[in-house]
């Protein structure tokens, strides 16, 4: 009987109910929620009315029309911003006050505790947001006889919900890396900054009137919430919560973890390189396949974009380049050591940037960056085909000679970045988030130093000294 009493949602609800009751007793949470629920929407009503009246006087009624739905989104967003504070308080705060240990000693599972706290962090702010939206819409209906379309209402409600879920699930991940609310608040900027950027983006979209884009944002947000939720479930466990003191930065430990992963068990550079080829590379075959698919997709996107944004055919006539091609090549520094250094540094810089962005986006942004040159090549190839030129000749002359080294470098680099970006999602047993990440950073460095860098050196050499000669031979016959 005891089993069933604690099973499933009931255990979750026990935790959630206690936390919600606790929030209802805290004036620091209640006061802003009441203000944002009842007074803020009324203020927004007034603002909307004034703005619409003002812009209508100058014949810019459109601005007013776009402002009203934008304010609807704002009315929903302000109360949910409190969910971040509540979540940090619920997860990091309870850990800091040491009230979590008695809770961890109960038969409730990690998942029940996590879900209970998640629901509690979301319930009040979302209720306040929905109520605020209702008050705002009621005011609009009474004062301006303005009613939202069903689609807009659904979009705003879903956006509000998705943003709240992202903030709360993100707060759990943040809290798992701290033992104090102060540290959690400092780390919260990792959430606040992207969410602020998102709100600005949503505002632009709403003023632009491209409401269909909001569906993609809703989809993206729920996807991110899913990823963060999965991370949270993995990180919110008894071992992580009480087993580690993680606020102090220990550079020696960080270096030790990284170096162990980077060096592996090798005792000489030759053994290390052999291990990179025989162990690291085979381990990365799944991300390599994903990157290969992405690069192919980039090429295909570029190819199809050529049909939409077609270049004039005469611009693509390679035969007209004639003897001028050599002059142009020399002007760009090709066939010189200076050109080689420039290309190599540029490629390394691009990969470092892709790595940096990949770390903060689970590798997604880096994939997009890697797709870009392939999309450009695809775009030109598509245009070549449309203009009736020989695409294969174009690729053979200007791309393939150095692509034989550059594409493998991109594949391996992309795979290493993807592994690094996704390291926070796939926790190994008995390892912390930071241990996992440092191990992935070590693996990234192994692949980068052992394979990507030599391939980039070779690719730059080919691009500067071989490709121009092949191009001259194929395009001008010289």
Least CB distance to another protein at residue 56 (A): 50
Least CB distance to another protein at residue 89 (A): 12
B/e letters for 425-451, b = 16+ CB within 10 Å, e = fewer, are eebeeeebbbbbbbbbbbbbbbbbebb
Q: Which residues bind another protein (CB under 8 A)?
A: 1-3, 5-6, 11, 14-15, 18, 21-22, 25-26, 97-109, 238-239, 242-244, 253
Least CB distance to another protein at residue 330 (A): 57
Least CB distance to another protein at residue 365 (A): 32
Least CB distance to another protein at residue 3 (A): 7
Spatial distance between the Cα atoms of 189 and 52, rounded to a whole number of angstroms: 35
Spatial distance between the Cα atoms of 175 and 79, rounded to a whole number of angstroms: 21
Least CB distance to another protein at residue 242 (A): 6
**For another protein, which is the closer residue by CB, 45 or 177?**
177
Residues 380 and 310 sit within 8 Å (Cβ to Cβ): no
**For another protein, which is the closer residue by CB, 181 or 329?**
181
Least CB distance to another protein at residue 82 (A): 17
**For another protein, which is the closer residue by CB, 3 or 314?**
3
Residues 322 and 474 sit within 8 Å (Cβ to Cβ): no
**For another protein, which is the closer residue by CB, 89 or 463?**
89
**For another protein, which is the closer residue by CB, 5 or 270?**
5
Surface-to-core class of residue 295, CB atoms within 10 Å of its CB (0-12 exposed, 13-18 middle, 19+ buried)? buried
Residues 447 and 276 sit within 8 Å (Cβ to Cβ): yes
Residues 64 and 56 sit within 8 Å (Cβ to Cβ): yes
């Amino acid at each position: 009987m005891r089993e069933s009493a604690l099973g499933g949602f009931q255990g979750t609800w026990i935790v959630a109910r206690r936390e919600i009751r606790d929030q209802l007793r805290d004036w620091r949470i209640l006061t802003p929620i009441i203000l944002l629920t009842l007074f803020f929407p009324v203020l927004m009503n007034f603002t909307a009315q004034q703005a619409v009246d003002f812009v209508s006087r100058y014949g810019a009624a459109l601005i007013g029309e776009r402002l009203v739905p934008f304010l609807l989104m704002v009315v929903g967003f302000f109360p949910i911003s409190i969910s971040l504070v509540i979540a940090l308080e619920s997860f990091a705060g309870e850990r800091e006050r040491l009230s979590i240990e008695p809770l961890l000693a109960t038969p409730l599972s990690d998942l029940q505790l996590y879900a209970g706290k998640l629901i509690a962090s979301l319930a009040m702010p979302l209720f306040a947001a929905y109520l605020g939206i209702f008050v705002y819409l009621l005011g609009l209906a009474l004062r301006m006889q303005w009613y939202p379309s069903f689609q807009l209402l659904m979009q705003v409600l879903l956006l509000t919900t998705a943003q709240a879920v992202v903030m709360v699930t993100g707060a759990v991940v943040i809290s798992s890396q701290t033992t104090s609310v102060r540290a959690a608040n400092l780390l919260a900027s990792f959430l606040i900054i992207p969410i602020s950027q998102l709100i600005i983006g949503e505002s632009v979209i709403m003023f632009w009137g491209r409401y269909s884009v909001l569906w993609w944002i809703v989809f993206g947000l729920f996807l991110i919430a899913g990823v963060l939720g999965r991370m949270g479930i993995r990180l919110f466990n008894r071992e992580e919560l009480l087993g580690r003191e993680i606020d102090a930065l220990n550079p020696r430990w960080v270096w030790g973890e990284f170096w162990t992963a980077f060096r592996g068990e090798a005792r000489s550079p030759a053994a290390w390189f052999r291990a990179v080829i025989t162990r690291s590379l085979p381990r990365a075959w799944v991300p390599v396949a994903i990157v290969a698919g992405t690069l192919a997709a980039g090429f295909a996107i570029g190819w199809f974009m050529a049909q939409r944004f077609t270049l004039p055919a005469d611009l693509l006539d390679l035969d007209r380049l004639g003897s001028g091609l050599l002059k142009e090549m020399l002007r760009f520094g090709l066939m010189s050591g200076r050109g080689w250094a420039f290309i190599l540094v540029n490629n390394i810089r691009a990969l470092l940037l892709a790595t940096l962005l990949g770390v903060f986006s689970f590798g997604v942004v880096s994939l997009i960056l890697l797709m870009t040159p392939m999309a450009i090549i695809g775009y030109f190839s598509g245009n070549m085909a449309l203009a009736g030129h020989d695409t294969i000749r174009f690729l053979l002359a200007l791309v393939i000679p150095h692509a034989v080294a550059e594409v493998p470098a991109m594949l391996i680099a992309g795979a290493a970045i993807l592994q690094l970006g996704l390291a926070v999602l796939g926790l190994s047993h008995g390892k912390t988030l930071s241990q996992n990440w440092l191990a992935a950073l070590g693996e990234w460095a192994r692949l980068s130093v052992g394979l990507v860098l030599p391939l980039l050196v070779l690719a730059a050499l080919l691009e500067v000294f071989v490709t121009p000669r092949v191009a001259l031979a194929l395009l001008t016959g010289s």
